[in-house]
Structure 1
Amino acid sequence: MANGSIYQLIEDCEATHKGLYKFYAAVMIIIVMLALPLNMSILHLFIFKLKFWKSNTNNVFLFNLVLADMLLLFSLPIKAYNYIQGERRNSNDAVCKAMLFMLFLNRGASIAFLTVTSIDRYFNVVHPGRKNLLKALKKSPHISIFIWLLLLPLTIPTMLKNFDCCNSHKSDGNQEDTLIKDVVDSLREAVFFTQIVIPFVILVYCTVHIVNRLRKKTVGDRTKLRRAVFLVTTVMVVFSLCFLPCTIARAVLLVARVQEWHESYQDKATVAFDGLMVLSYLDCLLDPLVYCLSSTKFKALYLSTYFPFLLKDGPLPMDSSTGNTTPNPKRNNVI
């Protein structure tokens, strides 16, 4: 394939490696098949068992985190279909913008609630006696509603086809409206990077201080301390695995655009970015596992509700008023 035809395919949002994009589509379908029932089952527990809106814990944040992940999953089959057809975006303008809106709103919400949950855990562990605004607000849905509303205007700049096709700051030889286009492109890219870089810095700060605090504690159950350290470290690893690679790939792609690298290098950067964006969708599967099923109590509730045969002594008795399980001191924990 000639270089000119490769460049034209990139500009037209056509897949230059159709076999590879079909593989990307298969990965997204597998993610949906695994993550959708998991997220739906956890939402069922939050609503009908835990009654999260009455809880004084961070269940409200976790509910919104899982909700954001599940809404994002509904967009992936359309994305997978486009990849199978050899298109990097939907050819219908309305569907394309709706897809970008769903993808970035719900991914942004997922990152936001993940970050807020980590901040809440930071205050509980590092500053357990200190009063803070988050501790007061988390008892009501107002902060969750505020986060969703805040993300709406931040999502609007991404609802353009040239973002989905990675065509920001492209050189088209037309000098008219160049300044306006550059401002819009820069704003759009700033939103993309801000949604990831700032939460990552916050997560690193919270994780380091939580780990240091837990390691300095000389009293308490050492097993619980090790489990807590493992959990916050795992959260950091999951975030780094899902979101940092696509952020780096996006930065490389922008450099390739601005510096007008050879078409073949731009093509490789584009394909790599699309593949790492698919990797970021794995967050929809890992979030419930890390935040929900890593809790011994929640895991016991989950197993007693959906897989009671995995419990050694049968289902855990349930407190109907709170949705919490009542432990039996004579029985062992879940498998």
Structure 2
Amino acid sequence: MEAITGDHCNTEESRLYIFLSVVMSAEFILALPLNLSILYVFVFKFKFWKNNSLFLFNLVLADLLLLICLPFKVHNFVTGMRKSDDNIICKAMLFMLFLNRGASIAFLTVISVDRYFNVVHFGRKNFLKILKKSPHISILIWLLLLPLTVPTMLETFECCNSFGRAENHTLMTQVADFLRETVFFTQILIPFGVLVFCTVQINNRLRRKTVGDKTKLRRAVFLMASVVLVFTVCFLPLAVSRMILLIVRVREYAVAEKSVVQIYDALMCLSYSDCLLDPLVYCFCHSKFKEVYLSSVLPSRVKRQTHESERRVSRDLVNSIPLSSHKSVSEP
């Protein structure tokens, strides 16, 4: 089997990477105005600090910071490179990608755990219910994520020179490889396990409820389903492809490696679509957000729907009046 001792991050299939650059450009064009408008609504209309929506606000910030990286990735792919030739830009990009993807995953997990406690353990003391009203836990999450990005800065990650594949193979590179891969996989797999547990428990709670209004429970199930959707589409395929890529590289399957690298890069581009899927979480997490957002971004449509609903209600009221009442009114 042919071994590859180095990786200079060249794109061997130019047509594929041109297509991926088009996909990322579309994600950027669609997601940037969407998330900017959501940020505007959160700050000026929804007043997130009064509606216990600090976690959602931080999720929007993480998505916007992640979007900053897309034009650089597009430029690299168009010029035939998987990463920037400039070492400083490359490490800055890795830092931003890991920090903000980690923040997105962390806040999605915290939102889901908070909803789990509110539904399954309703009435008990919920520490998240207290902490989410203050910015302390959000600041703590960002601070805890900072040291987790350090391993990505030690050695190149973008081209996957891991476990003996780096040009200067030393004990330091082995430790950096182990830490980097551990952070990458645990950052995705452990939160996904937590999400599955919370989703199952909330769904069981909905099934056991035989009396009373189930609206809150159904909204919680939809929220968990939207978070699991984000993980299933954006993060899990990336983790699986990364695992396969590491196995192929360690066993030095040079022919298969070229195809697996392209699949990994394609799924990496797909992972950026969480910036388009996260608004589903906002709508299901807070019942009033969708109404406030639509009234702010599309006020004319909301007014038209309001007028139509008012006419419908008045028509139903008229139809509900007995026929004898109409006659009596019409008679002199």
Q: Could you list the per-position Cα deviations for residues 143-190 of structure 1 after superposition, in whole angstroms to 9, with x for gaps in the alignment? A: 00000000001011112562111111134697xx63322111111111
- Does 2:37 correspond to 1:45? no
Partner AA of 1:102 in structure 2? M
> 1:265 and 1:51, CA in 2 relative to 1: closer, same or farther beyond 3 A?
same
1:265 equivalent among 256, 259, 275: 256
Cα shift at 1:134: 1.4
Please name the residue that 2:297 is paired with. 306
Question: Counterparts of 1:285 and 1:297 in 2: how far apart (Å)?
Answer: 20
Corresponding position of 1:283: 274
Normalising by the residue count of structure 1, what TM-score does the alignment of the two structures yield?
A: 0.86
Displacement, 1:17? 0.7
Q: What is residue 246 of structure 1 aligned with on the other side? A: 238
Aligned AA (1:258): V
Gapped runs of 5+ residues in structure 2?
Answer: 315-332
8 A contact 1:100–1:159 mirrored in 2: yes
Corresponding position of 1:180:
172
Match of 1:34 among 14, 30, 35: 30
Look up the match of 1:324: none
**Bigger CA drift: 230-239 or 83-92?**
230-239
Structure 2 residue 123 is matched with structure 1 residue 132: no
Name whichever of 163-172 and 291-300 sits farther off: 291-300
**1:145 matched to 2:139:** yes
State how many pairs are aligned: 311
1:167 aligns with 2:161: yes
Q: Give the 5 Å matches for 1:175-214.
A: 178-214=170-206
SS of equivalent to 1:52: coil
Q: Report how far residue 265 of structure 1 moved.
A: 0.7
Within a 5 Å distance, the mapping from 1:35-114 to structure 2 comes to 35-55=31-51, 57=52, 59-114=53-108
C-alpha separation in 1, matches of 2:32 and 2:226: 22
Q: Map Cα deviations across residues 274-332 of structure 1 (whole Å, 9 max, x no partner).
A: 1111111111110013333775421111111111222254679xxxxxxxxxxx9x979
1:116-131 aligned at under 5 Å gives the runs: 116-131=110-125
Residue ranges of structure 1 left out of the alignment (5+ in a row): 317-327
1:41 counterpart SS class: helix
Q: 1:22 to 1:161 in 2, by over 3 A?
A: farther
Amino acid in the other structure paired with 2:36: M
Q: Distance in 2 between matches of 1:88 and 1:291?
A: 33
Q: Deviations over 1:178-224 (max 9, x none)?
A: 33221111111111111101111111111111111122212334565
TM-score norm. by structure 2 comes to 0.87
Q: Is the 8 A contact 2:95 2:152 kept in 1?
A: yes
Counterparts of 1:94 and 1:173 in 2: how far apart (Å)? 19
Name the CA distance, whole Å, in 2 between partners of 1:120 and 1:89. Answer: 38
Residues 308 and 315, structure 1, Cα contact 8 Å, conserved in 2 = no
The structure-2 alpha-carbon separation of the partners of 1:134 and 1:173, relative to structure 1 and needing over 3 Å to count, comes to closer
Q: 1:293 to 1:27 in 2, by over 3 A?
A: farther
- Which residue number corresponds to residue 215 of structure 1? 207
> What aligned pairs does 1:305-324 form with structure 2 within 5 A after superposition?
305-311=296-302, 313=304
Larger Rg: 2
Tell me if the contact between 1:29 and 1:76 (Cα under 8 Å) persists in the aligned partners: yes
Distance change in 2, residues 1:117/1:227 (3 Å): closer
Shift of 1:133: 1.8
Alpha-carbon distance in structure 2 between the residues aligned to 1:293 and 1:203? 15
CA contact (8 A) 2:119 2:217 kept: no
Q: Is the 8 A contact 2:238 2:271 kept in 1?
A: yes
Q: Is the 8 A contact 1:305 1:315 kept in 2?
A: no
Residue in 2 aligned with 1:323?
A: none
